[in-house]
Amino acid sequence: MRQRFTYSRWDGTQKGFDLDADAILGEITDDLLYHGDLNAALRRLMRSGMTDQDGNRIEGLTEMLERIRDRRQEIQDSGDLGGVYSEIVDALQDIVDEERHAIEQALRDAEQSGDDRRAQTARDSSMDRNFRLDMLPDDLAGKVKELQAYDFESADAKHRFDELMEKLREQMMQQFLDQMKGDMESMSQEDMQRMKDMIAELNQMIERRNNGEDPKFEEFMENYGDFFPENPQTLDELLEIMAQRMQAMQAMLNSMTPEQRAQLQQLSDQLMEDMDLQWQMQQLSEHLQGMFPQQGWGREYQFDGTEQMGMGEAMQAMQNMGQLDQLENLIRNASNPSALAEADLDRVRDLLGDDAAQSMERLAKIAKLLEEAGLANRKEGRLELSPRGLRAIGNNSLRELFSKMSKDKFGQHRIEKDGVGHERTYESKPYEYGDPFRLDIQRTIRNAVTRQGGGTPVRLSPDDFEIERTEHSTRSSTVLMLDLSMSMPMRGNFVPAKRVAMALHSLISSQFPRDYLGLVGFSETAHVLTHEQLPEVSWDLAYGTNMQHGFRLARQLLARQTGTKQIIMITDGEPTAHITRSGDVYFNYPPVRETVEATLREVMYCTKDDIRINTFVLDATGALRAFIEQLTHINRGRAFFTDPESLGDYVLVDFLENKRQMSRSGGRH
């Protein structure tokens, strides 16, 4: 079936392209080239963020940490925890005032009734009640205890007191069980008993597991699963939820003044008069603090707001602060993008906003996108660039360098001379006697059909034959010598040089597949590199620029190759190290005569083997220029003194021009 597509003008409402693997790889290429570690490059991308191809900002973890800091300060500035205590005190005072008003009204009514006995009884009752109210303890818990035993004159005051006690009892329960049961209001005695049974069973589950027995988690969830709307799938998950909530209440107590904390603690004990319930709660708290010591049970916050917080507002603020702490801990300890997938995006959205949640969701997918696109493979828990990823980085480097070069720089002129090489020109010509018989089947048959008309069979004649034209191509063998000494990164030369190496490899492998490219890195000593190692190669933490050893290894590589041979050396320093006759490494700065002579001796060996050395020099000093002039005089190669920005232009242009000259000369150097 033919697919149909509909196109329309962009009006700003359409959804653009999502983040793709190529964009991610392009974003981390410089970092990867500099440090040579894909996993570290992804971690740095996580921290710094990026802008996608639609221009949308993907926040990095550093920005999210700033959001967390700002949100935490906003919560701390929102109120004063003293309001938790004041709210209860004020509510009790209102109840006491209402009761005193009712006592006065009852006495007034009795005295106006004309019944002396009733009036006297009212006077005695009024005196007794006012005395008890006058003698109420100053501490909150004591005041509540006295009012619980007090015989109220006012039914409304009694009702308000009972409602306040029930509300406080529920809020005290919520310090352990917040949101575990959706309907905390109007809990019956049966509900409270069932909650107590649930806590007791939870403690038994923990003890069974500690004893190596089956904790019977599934049975517990079947009986009490309605207390947990989060639907935890394991006992550990359930206990972590409870630990977070208990820590929130503990943090609120820790953040109060010692007097406020003592008052609320006594009030809690007073309201939880069921000794078994208190014991079960204490057991659960001890279990959870032992299992989750990292939860921050001693954490406290400094609230600087002027508005007085009630119990509900304070608990919500503490939950938010605890969730911010957990999110911050997750972000700070995320060693790879996949670790961010553990974040609750709904919670991130509530705490930090939609942009942060969307950014975290996208950051969590970057490693997976690279794997799904075939650009990276996971090996022993670490990501490594795949062969396709290696090619992509090389192609990106080549494309970036070519995009900066104007066409006239690399002489895109047609080579008139045709030859017998293997590079096709994708053009054809009528066959002539003596031509290589590389028949262009499509054009040959078309010529026959044109000559004889339609129908079958198609009969060919010699005049119908057309052959493919080929460019005159010769095989060249190149070794790229890349300076890995510490001066390269210190002067900002390392990444441009490495990018050129990647681009040159991509150019040769894609456009000149018959050519050979070897790689040698050199610093204190030299070593042969594979193309697969190149993206992850970093500079050596050693002093020394051992060109001598590099030339020796390059000459050994080229000895096994055919065609014209050359060495391309990229460096920013003089030769300061060489291998002695005994096989030891000798280093000295500034260079000594022995090192210079040993290096030039290898240059002469290369010259004798008909190997040309083309040198690309960065940040050349007078002494370095003098040495390079000696080298080129001996070898008859070329030297280019350039800077990091122009390095790629020089290397690629020179390589392509050299290929064209070889084609024109039929392979003669």
Same domain assignment for residues 464 and 482: no
* Secondary structure of 326-337 in HEC code, one letter for each residue: HHHHHHHHCCCH
Q: Is residue 350 part of a domain?
A: yes
Q: Same domain for 462 and 482?
A: no
For residue 221, give both structure tokens: 């969830």
pTM over cut 0.75:
no
- Is the confidence at residue 76, as pLDDT, over 60? yes
Residues 270 and 140 sit within 8 Å (Cβ to Cβ) = no
Cis peptide before 590 (omega within 30 of 0): yes
- pLDDT classification of 9: cutoffs 50, 70, 90: low
pLDDT tens digit sequence for 371-406:
888 888 888 878 888 888 888 887 777 777 666 554
Residue 404 domain-assigned (yes or no): no
Looking at the structure of the chain, the number of domains it has is 4
Confidence of residue 422 (pLDDT cuts 50, 70, 90): very low
DSSP secondary structure string for all residues of 22-44? HHHHHHHHHHHHHH--HHHHHHH
d(CA 258, CA 231): 37
How do beta strands 516-522 and 526-529 pair?
A: antiparallel
For residue 349, how many C-alpha atoms fall within 13 Å in the half-sphere facing its CB?
6
The verdict on 273 and 355 lying in the same domain is no
| Beta carbons of 468 and 423 less than 8 angstroms apart | no
SS3 assignment for 163-198: HHHHHHHHHHHHHHHCCCCCCCCCCCHHHHHHHHHH
87-115 pLDDT, tens per residue? 778 888 899 999 999 999 988 888 888 88
| Residue 181 pLDDT class (50, 70, 90 cuts) | very low
| Pair 234, 113 in one domain | yes
Q: Are residues 281 and 354 in the same domain?
A: no
Q: Is residue 445 scored above 50 in pLDDT? A: yes
pLDDT tens, position by position, 159-169: 998 888 877 76
Task: Please check whether residue 470 is in contact with residue 421, taking contact to mean a CB–CB distance below 8 angstroms.
Answer: yes
Q: Is the per-residue pLDDT at 31 higher than 70?
A: yes
Exposure letters 286-307 (e unless 16+ CB within 10 A, then b)? ebbeeebeebbbebebebebee
Distance CA 231, CA 237 (A): 9
In this predicted structure, the answer to whether residue 233 has a pLDDT above a threshold of 90 is no
614 and 530 together in one domain: yes
Residue 414 binned pLDDT confidence (cut-offs 50, 70, 90): very low
| Parent domain of 548 | 476-664
| Residue 11 placed within a domain | no
479: tokens are 């070794």
Whether residues 505 and 564 share a domain: the answer is: yes
Quote the pLDDT of residue 549.
97
Chain length of the chain: 669
Q: Which amino acid is at 416?
A: E
Dist CA 524 CA 526 (whole Å): 7
Helix intervals (H) in 409-535: 441-452, 487-490, 494-511
Cα 302–Cα 304–Cα 305 angle in degrees, nearest 5: 135
Q: pLDDT digit string (tens) for 532-577?
A: 888 878 777 778 999 999 999 999 999 999 889 999 999 998 999 9
Structure tokens at 94: 């209102």
List, in sequence order, every beta strand (DSSP E) within 270-345.
Answer: none
From the CA atom positions of the chain, what is the Rg in Å? 41
* pLDDT exceeds 90 at position 585: yes
The dihedrals phi and psi of 178, each to the nearest 5 degrees, come to: -55, 130
Token pair belonging to 171: 């809020």
**Does residue 155 sit in the same domain as residue 92?**
yes
**Portion of the chain with pLDDT greater than 90, in percent:** 20
- Overall average pLDDT of the 241-260 stretch: 67
Say if residue 531 is in the same domain as residue 625.
yes
Distance CA 151, CA 149 (A): 7
Q: Indicate which CATH number applies to the domain containing 613.
A: 3.40.50.410
Same domain, 497 and 644: yes
pLDDT at 260 over 50: yes
| Residue 35 binned pLDDT confidence (cut-offs 50, 70, 90) | confident
The CB-side HSE value for 604 (13 A sphere, CA atoms) comes to: 6
pLDDT in tens, 199-220: 888 888 888 888 888 988 899 8
Pairing outcome for strands 466-471 and 526-529? unpaired
Same domain, 29 and 172: no
Q: Is residue 320 part of a domain?
A: no
Would residue 316 count as lying in a domain? Answer: no
1 falls within a domain: no
CA distance linking residue 486 with residue 538, whole number of Å: 10
Place of tokens 């009640």: 129
- Please tell me whether residues 492 and 347 are part of one structural domain: no
For 341-355, write each residue's pLDDT tens digit: 888 888 899 889 999
Token reading at 336 = 């790879």
Question: What is the DSSP secondary structure assignment for residue 308, as one 8-state letter?
Answer: B
**pLDDT 10s digits, 300-313:** 667 777 777 766 77
Q: Is position 44 within any domain?
A: yes
Count of beta carbons in the 10 Å neighbourhood of residue 642: 19
**Does the residue 312 lie in any domain?**
no
When pLDDT is averaged across residues 361-369 and rounded to a whole number, the result is: 89
